[in-house]
């Protein structure tokens, strides 16, 4: 008797969820593959699962990195614009704002995103 399509999908989802939990716990690809084989998967299928998870993880990190780069750049540029605008307005005398918090936090977030995107 063959498994129904929904039952087969549930099995695949369960295998990927188990492998993802192993990855979250800090195990590396070969260790995850070995544990999947211990659960009854053949080596080829276990390898496919591990490779797919590693690709998905890399893609998620890069996407997160791009978002951090974008928002970091926006904060940094916004801080520079505020600083420049208030400095220009105070050119005849008066006070101005140096938005160093936005500039620094934006730069940190931007470079965090750069390191995430490189992963």
- pLDDT tens digits, one per residue of 19-58: 999 999 999 999 999 999 999 999 999 999 999 999 999 9
CA distance 11 to 25: 21
112 HSE (CA, 13 A, CB side): 12
- pLDDT tens digits, one per residue of 64-101: 999 999 999 999 999 999 999 999 999 888 899 999 99
CB 42 within 8 A of CB 33: no
pTM value > 0.75: no
Tokens of 38: 């211990």
**Cβ count near 85 (within 10 Å):** 13
Dihedral sign, Cα of residue 21, residue 27, residue 29, residue 30: negative
């Amino acid at each position: 008797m063959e498994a129904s399509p929904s039952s087969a999908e549930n099995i695949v989802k369960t295998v990927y969820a188990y492998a993802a939990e192993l990855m979250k716990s800090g195990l590396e690809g070969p260790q995850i593959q070995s544990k999947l084989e211990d659960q009854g998967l053949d080596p080829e299928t276990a390898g496919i699962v591990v490779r797919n998870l590693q690709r998905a993880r890399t893609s998620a990190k890069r996407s997160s990195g791009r978002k951090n780069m974008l928002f970091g750049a926006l904060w940094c540029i916004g801080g520079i614009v505020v600083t420049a605008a208030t400095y220009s307005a105070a050119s005849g005398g008066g006070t101005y704002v140096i938005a160093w918090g936005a500039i620094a936090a934006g730069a940190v977030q931007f470079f965090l995103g750069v390191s995430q995107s490189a992963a």
